[in-house]
């Protein structure tokens, strides 16, 4: 399995018989897995999405967006209880090119990626149940891809 370090963004290969949740980065010696959303920027977005074996959920948000602010604690809570997924955030005000390339038209927008490809997306504020249902549906789509 490949997992991109949540701290230095170096790609690490984790043997199948090892727990990636406890793995340390070969470069920075920090934990490679983060149960809290990882902030992505212009130089880290594409490598993080493409190089991770685990599915990646990206929250595209902005500081002026009320629904984004309301959903942020829910996104963080779901991230804490979903150890087989990686959660990330992209501030659309600071990383406008990534948002434009991802064709983000409304906020908040969640995008589910697997193996570098977009599997699903949903826009608008979600409560915890709605978010978990959408994630479950997105995970099921991986098997159909």
Mark out the alpha helices in the chain (DSSP H runs): 45-51, 66-80, 96-101, 128-144
Catalytic position from the list 5, 25, 28, 68: 68
Tokens of 107: 């906020």
What's the maximum distance between 2 C-alpha atoms anywhere in the chain?
Answer: 44
Q: Are 59 and 110 in contact (CB under 8 A)?
A: yes
Separation between Cα atoms, residue 145 and residue 126, nearest integer Å: 25
Cα–Cα distance for residue pair 79/87, rounded to 1 Å: 6
What is the Cβ-side half-sphere exposure of residue 10, based on CA atoms within 13 angstroms? 14
Which among 8, 25, 28, 65 is annotated as catalytic? 65
Reply yes or no on whether 8 is catalytic.
Answer: no
Q: Look up 65 and say whether it is catalytic.
A: yes
Residues belonging to the active site: 65, 68
């Amino acid at each position: 399995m490949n997992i991109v370090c949540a701290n230095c963004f170096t790609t690490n290969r984790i043997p199948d018989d090892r727990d990636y949740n406890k793995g340390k980065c070969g470069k920075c010696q920090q934990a490679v897995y983060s149960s809290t959303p990882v902030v992505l920027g212009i130089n880290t977005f594409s490598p993080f999405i493409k190089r991770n074996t685990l599915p990646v959920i990206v929250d595209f948000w902005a500081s002026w967006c009320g629904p984004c602010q309301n959903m942020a604690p829910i996104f963080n809570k779901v991230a804490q209880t979903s150890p087989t997924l990686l959660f990330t955030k992209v501030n659309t005000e600071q990383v406008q090119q990534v948002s434009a390339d991802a064709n983000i038209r409304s906020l908040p927008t969640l995008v589910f990626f697997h193996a570098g490809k977009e599997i699903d997306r949903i826009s608008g504020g979600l409560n915890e149940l709605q978010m978990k249902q959408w994630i479950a549906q997105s995970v099921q789509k991986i098997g159909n891809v």
